[in-house]
Amino acid sequence: MKMERKPPTGPLKGVRILDLTRLYPGPLGTMILADMGAEVIKIEDINAPDYMRIYPPYIESESAGFLAVNRSKRSLALNLKVKKGVDIFFSLLKTADIVVEQFRPGVLDKLGIGYDATRKIKADIIYVSITGYGQNGPYAQDAGHDINYIGYAGILSATGSSKTGPILPGPQLADVAGGAYMAIIACLSALWSREKTGQGQRVDVSMLDAVLPLMTLQMAHYQATKTTFAPGEPPLSGGLACYGAYLCADGKYVALGILEAKFWKTFCNMVGHPEWIESQLVMGEEAEKLRAEIAALFRTKTRDEWIEAAAGHDVCLTPVLDIAEIETDPQIQARQMVYEQAHPVCGKVKGIGVPLKFSETTAQPAWPPPALGEDTQSILKEIGYKPKEIETLRKEGVILVAE
């Protein structure tokens, strides 16, 4: 029998979350909540578990993507398409604080476990629904992915250059900033509201809505001027020569991010070009000329030579790291932002650490991602099911119990 697993520490210890999400946005959000001490029970269909479990690439036999966003959780494998499965869900619901789901509007209503049904069982339940476009509006039932949401939000039209047109950002902005992070905010805000009022509620998280704040300054500029920039023209997206990525002699890049006059003056003097000092904030053709001169300068040394030259000068010049370099960066190491964890199948697995540091309630990964149904028995025992009942449910195909 598997050992009982409960979060040892964290500011959310004592909060129980039923996690019905799959793939990336919801699972990342609930993993961070689990790292912060919440007891997250990942509920998966026994016949169609989280698709991320089968997505390549793999570490041994396990999906690297699944490992990345499901640590610190418990696993309950359940058939929610039969009444006994729904009964188990409702029994567990009575012990829970939050439900997080990521289906299109109406899908869980058809299964009988939508918000209206759950609040009849537990009036103060917090029910967080993550969708692409929200619970209402003309796009509510439309399928979509990250690219679609950032396209609607104007992010794609602002990313790239006049030569390339829109360029896809490296990370999935809508999935992470719009889905995972906003789901965390939704859970914590609703918990605080319930603490004050005693009332649960549904929180409607639209990934399109949630990425629009990323365009706050761009929207403000448009409202003030009624003009739009082409990709690569905004000051902080290619328009300013003092703010950009530059190629070095070894094919690597540096990030020059100087907006303050004092830093710019120091930089110009450091590189022996005091004549650039008065041109810091030029735009258009003047910026193109200055950018070409700065680019030629950076091509004279390797990336690391430039970083060494800038050390101690306080000039906002940093390396552009590739993914293989992140874990060896001393700042990232000092902040424990690459975390290594032992996995029973994969050995030692590295992932992104916990981004929030609490002085009194340490938040940290508790255990590796669970096998499908790994905690089914222990969870059912906790809510009153007897061993014989559990075995019957297993034989009937209502639950799956990991071997």
User: C-alpha distances in angstroms, 224 versus 218, 219, 220?
Assistant: 10, 9, 6
Say whether 175 is catalytic.
yes
In this structure, the strands spanning 58-59 and 62-63 are antiparallel
Let me know the angle formed at the C-alpha of 345 by 342 and 350, rounded to the nearest 5 degrees.
Answer: 40
DSSP 161-213: ETTTEE---SS-HIIIIIIIHHHHHHHHHHHHHHHHH---EEEEEEHHHHHGG
- Nearest to residue 261, comparing CAs of 182, 334, 337, 316? 316
Q: Residue 205: phi, psi to the nearest 5?
A: -105, 110
What does the alpha-carbon distance between residue 41 and residue 289 come to, in Å, rounded to a whole number? 57
Q: Pick the catalytic residue: 175, 250, 322, 375? A: 175
In this structure, the strands spanning 253-257 and 243-247 are antiparallel
Max CA distance (Å), the chain: 83
Sequence-separated (6 or more) residues with CB below 8 Å from residue 290: 241, 276, 279, 282
Contact between residue 69 and residue 40 where contact means Cβ atoms under 8 Å apart = no
What does the alpha-carbon distance between residue 113 and residue 220 come to, in Å, rounded to a whole number? 41
- Give the catalytic positions in this structure: 175
